[in-house]
Amino acid sequence: MKLSHLDQAGRARMVDVGDKPLMDRTAVATGTIRMSPEAFRQVAEQAIAKGDVLAVSEVAGTLAAKRTAELIPLCHPLGLDHVEVEAELAESLPGVKVSARVRTVGRTGVEMEALTAVAVALLTVYDMVKAVDSSMMIGDVQLIEKQKAPVDA
């Protein structure tokens, strides 16, 4: 299998997608952060001193999706048509589950944008809650859906 991000000499490079057709592209990613029951209670009751953890993490994830190319060296800068980040309490963890759906019409996919949105949203939860529980664990960050379809003319 030949890796497309390497040139003839094995150096990393950005892939040329200029000849690829425009496609309607969507990606969905998810992840979790596990925390102590006390931290979970405070997040659920909006008792965290820094504010509404779920709302702030959703905004942070949205901003991160839009800046993915600045963080991941070989990603193409994309104009995103839609970013939806949802952070929800998951009592079974206990903790927070984050999902991100990202959509664009372009020549390359939005998987990295969806994954970046989830990762940064989870890091934001950690930052906001760390005074209550510094042993939280971020995990299960994964791409769960990737779609592309021809653009209607």
* Distance separating alpha carbons of residues 140 and 138, to the nearest angstrom: 7
C-alpha to C-alpha distance for 144 and 77, rounded to whole angstroms: 22
The single residue of 127, 133, 140, 152 carrying the catalytic annotation is: 127
Residue with tokens 């709302």: 55
Residue owning tokens 């890796």: 3
Burial degree of 64 (CB within 10 A; 0-12, 13-18, 19+): buried
Burial of residue 107, with CB atoms counted within 10 A of its CB: 0-12 exposed, 13-18 middle, 19 or more buried? middle
In the residue annotation, 140 being an active-site residue is answered as no
CB contact set of 3 (below 8 Å; sequence gap of 6+): none
Give me the active site residues, please: 127
